[in-house]
Amino acid sequence: MIVCRDLKSWTKVREDWGGQGLSWGFVPTMGALHAGHLALASRAKEENGRVLVSIFVNPTQFNDPEDLRRYPRPLEKDLALLEELGADAVLVPDGSEMYPQGRRFKLSESELSAVLCGASRPGHFEGVLTVVLKLLMLSGARRAYFGEKDYQQLTLISDMVKEFFLPVEIVACPTVREPDGLAMSSRNLLLSPEHRAKAPRLNALLRSGLPLPEIRRTLEAEGFRVDYLEERFGRRFAAAYLGTVRLIDNEVL
């Protein structure tokens, strides 16, 4: 597995692969990898000649500096997991390379990014779309893989690719869950044992078929602080806090 710690080294690998007529799939991540990330990388490996994974904790998508500071960064563990999986290359760029002119240039969207997570996290999707656009262009991949847990993000990225005629296919992959139903997320590492035991209730209630007001009352009675509960696009969406950890999930209606 080739670890590219700067863009120059990745450019060389990309040129080598291209010169051999290879194609590759791409999985962008912020690290703290779990089975959901590995499922994306595994599918990318199955469907492409090579697989590239990026690890970059993108500062522009955090509207809370404390959230950025606390975000887990177990890089060496992540690299070991990817090597065991059989990833071909990992890009670990530096922030100064990803944003060589600071934050002068941004990509924004005016409709879907203003609801659900966008309503409570100002600037979040501007940061997401900006960095994903950069990463997709840097990757040179034929396909890029994203999970349905972040369904709003997945939809925005798919629409962005169509809008700007990017030569990459966005592949949606099902949410990977713990045995108790909790959607896998890097932020789950930050849950206390008490909150981890409660966290699966979010998905259980989304699947319950209960009316949204009743789900909200139940979650609040059980110690969740609900950010939103909404139905859009034929799905139920929820975001809720346990302590300082924000959980999101969605289920098809």
Catalytic residue among 34, 37, 124, 195: 37
Give the list of residues 6+ apart from residue 147 with CB closer than 8 angstroms, or none: 36, 39, 40, 154, 172, 173, 174, 175, 176
The yes-or-no answer on residue 37 being catalytic is: yes
Q: How many angstroms separate the CA atoms of 115 and 40, rounded?
A: 26
Three-class SS of 57-106: CCHHHCCCHHHHHHCCCCHHHHHHHHHHHCCCEEECCCHHHHCCCCCCCC
- Letter string b/e over residues 201-233, b meaning 16 or more CB atoms within 10 A of that residue's CB: bbbebbeeeeebeebbebbeeeebebbbbeeee
Q: How many angstroms separate the CA atoms of 195 and 72, rounded?
A: 18
Q: Catalytic residues, which ones?
A: 37
